[in-house]
Structure 1
């Protein structure tokens, strides 16, 4: 059978173009896809320790074609800042070099928090998508009773405002780590858990629904028993109305997110676990 290379290259180009348009969902927002939490039901024992590092592959699917489009890394550590020991949480996401010519992505999130009680002091987010940048920050409880909010982008005027401060209402990165402290084994199937989180310059009321236990296999062949949760998504340019995002957490004391999956208008987006370093507890959820 004769292979038509022209048709194959044309098909590849179409997939890459669609991937670039879906990039905001697949890569720009992939950090956010891992981030939901609230205070009720959380353990005082942390599921993570300073020095932990977890990495993910970001994948986009259109029809029968899967594209490995980027990578995301989460780290937790401590440092001395202003003479005080603090937590430093960080998440970075980037497109693979093979796709930078089409749609480059460079995202950085970090939060400084008090140690050991884990209350956020300062959050910063920098996003650069094909040269279009935006920056966002929260300065918590400063001045007292207020959270200072700042946002700037290439296309708009800077925003400086304040939000009423509420203890336990955090930025998206702090929430990502807080959710891992949640006691999922205390929830019943389809139980609803409500929570609040800062989004832009407001406090948003959100929720997730516990969906029980499921085994999950990664693309490198590892398999884990996991707690599954579902989060409703807000309708927008990429997410259809009524769509949900699914997150699978290891059914051990680490509660590592193993996979995140959601449908978008022209395919499916996944973040899949690659590796973890310096985890606090044994990964006894892994299936041999």
Structure 2
């Protein structure tokens, strides 16, 4: 569970809640994982910017994407994105569909010799990496389905930092940045992930740089973790 904060006019305001859950499931009779991310702004924040986002993904046991859905009500905008992934002859195929509030539907297909990720499976994949051999500044490049197209994305390892969560516990964290590049090659931070430096790689804090401002998510509570939280700073 996470507490959400938005920045308005240089003031950080508690704006809502988010939950991230991962469960074992089956997909087309095969063992899989299901991850859900739910983000809801509170009544106070709704006055400025209403947000009701529900993201769901299904991935195989090697964390390869199978299905993704994002229902997003953000301000006056409401869209539903769906992506279905398949694999054949060494290629990854994705079929994407975006449905708008007025019923307009946009569809596209894409294939790549690399694995194509969605917003949630790339988080799961990043959490699965062993950073023992990483050097600060190392870049991980990958294609990601973003609703209407597939875009090249870059994840950069920034190093380690101690981060205090909303529950008062301090964790030793690994830092990753999801960045974009403009036409001149200038780097733009999109999301910074702070994940616990233990086998869980638990997201402890997320810094998000949005079109309408910035937001942060702080870990409030965790349950069902598979491994001991050895990253806790005593």
TM-score normalised to structure 1 length: 0.69
Find the partner of 1:171 among 118, 135, 138. Answer: 118
Find the partner of 1:159 among 101, 106, 112. Answer: 106
What is the CA–CA distance in structure 2 between the aligned matches of 1:169 and 1:231, rounded to whole Å?
Answer: 16
CA deviations 1:142-174 (Å, max 9, x no partner) are 899642211111257311221125452111111
Find the partner of 1:274 among 212, 220, 229. Answer: 220
What is the CA–CA distance in structure 2 between the aligned matches of 1:266 and 1:133, rounded to whole Å?
Answer: 16
158 and 262 in structure 1: CA distance in 2 versus 1, 3 angstrom threshold? closer
| Structure 2: runs of 5+ lacking an equivalent | none
**2:52 paired residue number:** 106
Offset at residue 72 of structure 1 (A): 1.4
267 and 160 in structure 1: CA distance in 2 versus 1, 3 angstrom threshold? closer
CA deviations 1:87-112 (Å, max 9, x no partner) are 21111111113433553321111112
* CA RMSD, Structure 1 to Structure 2 (Å): 2.7
Higher relative contact order (CA 8 A, sep 6+): 1
Structure with more of its chain in helix, by fraction: 1
What is the CA–CA distance in structure 2 between the aligned matches of 1:265 and 1:74, rounded to whole Å?
Answer: 23
80 and 267 in structure 1: CA distance in 2 versus 1, 3 angstrom threshold? closer
284 and 159 in structure 1: CA distance in 2 versus 1, 3 angstrom threshold? same
| Contact persistence 1:62–1:266 (CA under 8 A) | no
TM-score normalised to structure 2 length: 0.84
| Structure 1: runs of 5+ lacking an equivalent | 1-54, 236-240
Find the partner of 2:24 among 78, 92, 102. Answer: 78
Residues matched between the structures, number: 228
| Contact persistence 2:117–2:142 (CA under 8 A) | no
259 and 134 in structure 1: CA distance in 2 versus 1, 3 angstrom threshold? same
| Contact persistence 1:86–1:113 (CA under 8 A) | yes
What is the CA–CA distance in structure 2 between the aligned matches of 1:143 and 1:162, rounded to whole Å?
Answer: 14
Q: Secondary structure at the match of 2:220?
A: strand
What is the CA–CA distance in structure 1 between the aligned matches of 2:122 and 2:212, rounded to whole Å?
Answer: 29
Structure having the higher Rg: 1
| Contact persistence 1:162–1:201 (CA under 8 A) | no
Q: Secondary structure at the match of 2:86?
A: coil
Structure with more of its chain in strand, by fraction: 2
The answer to whether 1:125 aligns with 2:70 is yes
219 and 193 in structure 1: CA distance in 2 versus 1, 3 angstrom threshold? same
